[in-house]
Homo-oligomer: A and B are copies of this chain.
Amino acid sequence: MNTRERSELRLSPAELRQRIRTGEFHGNTSGLAPGFVQCNLAILPQDWAGDFLRFCQANPRPCPLLAVSENPGDTALANLGNLDLRTDVPSYRIFRDGQLVDEVDDILEHWQDDFVTFALGCSFSFEEALIAAGLEVRNVTQNVNVPMYRSNISCQSAGPFAGDMVVSMRPFVAADAIRAIQICSRFPAVHGAPVHLGDPGQIGIEDLQKPDYGDPVRIDENELPVFWACGVTPQVALEAAAPPVAITHSPGCMLVTDKRNAELAIL
C-alpha cells in the first residue's frame, strides 16, 4: 500500500465522498472508510419504483433495503449522511431498456426529477465483521473481487422484477463456516446469514472456478464453499425488467455512508 492509499484509508466517509465528488478519487471503495456502511445503489423512474420496492421487500436477503428516497428527485438519502447521489459514487452504470449503455463518473446530466433511489446493504460490511472475528476472507487475502454465481434459487417476483438469486462465495473450514453463520446472522441488513453451503450443484452452480461475476478464489481441500445472497441480484432483476432508464453503481464502487457497520447489528 502506498502513502496515498494509506491516507485514503484514514479518510472519514465525508472526506472520501468529497474526494470522489471532486474527481480526486476514482475506483474501488473496498477497505476505505473502515467501520462505515457502503451501499449498492439502484436509481429508477418513479413509475418503476413501486414494483422495485416490493421486489426488495419480498427478497430481503439479496436486496436488503437500507434507505429509499423520501420524495422523487431527492438527491440525498436521509440518515446516510450529507451526500449527493449524483456525484458521490466513484462510478455509475447507465442502463436503457435493460441494456448497459454507459459507465460514467457522475450522473449530473442524467438526473431526472422523477428518479427514486434505493440504497441496499453490501457484503463489505459483513466481511469486515468476519475479519474482525479472526476469519480469513479469501477474496480479501487474495485481493480480488469475490466470486459470484447465478444460482437456481428463484427470487419472488414483483411486477416486471424477477429472476434467480445471484450468490457470492467464500470458502471456510467447517468450524469457521459455523462461526461465519453466527456472525452474519447479526447483520440481516447486509445480506444476513448464508443461504447455502457445501455442494454447489444443489443450487445450480456447475463450476466454482468459473464465476459469472468477479474472480475465482482458491478453495482448499478441507474447505466448504459458503454462499451468501448477493447485491448483484437486484441488478439482474433490473436488466430483466428493462425500464427505459436505470442507474446503478459500478461493481465495487459503492456509495460510502456515515452509518456505522456496528449500527446494523441486530444484537
Contacts and interface: CB of A to CB of B under 8 A. Distances in A.
B182 A197 contact: no
A202 interface: yes
A174 interface: yes
Interface stretch (A88-96, A122-130, A188-196): A188-196
A185 B184 CA distance: 12
A174 B182 CA distance: 15
A195 to B, nearest CB: 7
A173 B203 CA distance: 12
B178 A194 contact: yes
A177 interface: yes
Interface of A is mostly: mixed
Contacts of A175: 195-196
Contacts of A182: 181-182, 185, 193
A198 B178 CA distance: 11
Interface residues of A, number: 19
A198 B174 contact: yes
B181 A202 contact: no
Interface string A236-247: 000000000000
A44 to B, nearest CB: 31
A177 B224 CA distance: 13
A193 B174 CA distance: 12
Contacts of A181: 178, 181-182
Nearest to A181: B181
A249 B216 CA distance: 52
A194 to B, nearest CB: 6
Contact of A267 (B178, B195, B267): B267
Given A185-B185, A267-B267, A197 B222 contact: no
7 contacts: A173-B202, A174-B196, A178-B181, A197-B198, A198-B198, A198-B224, A199-B222
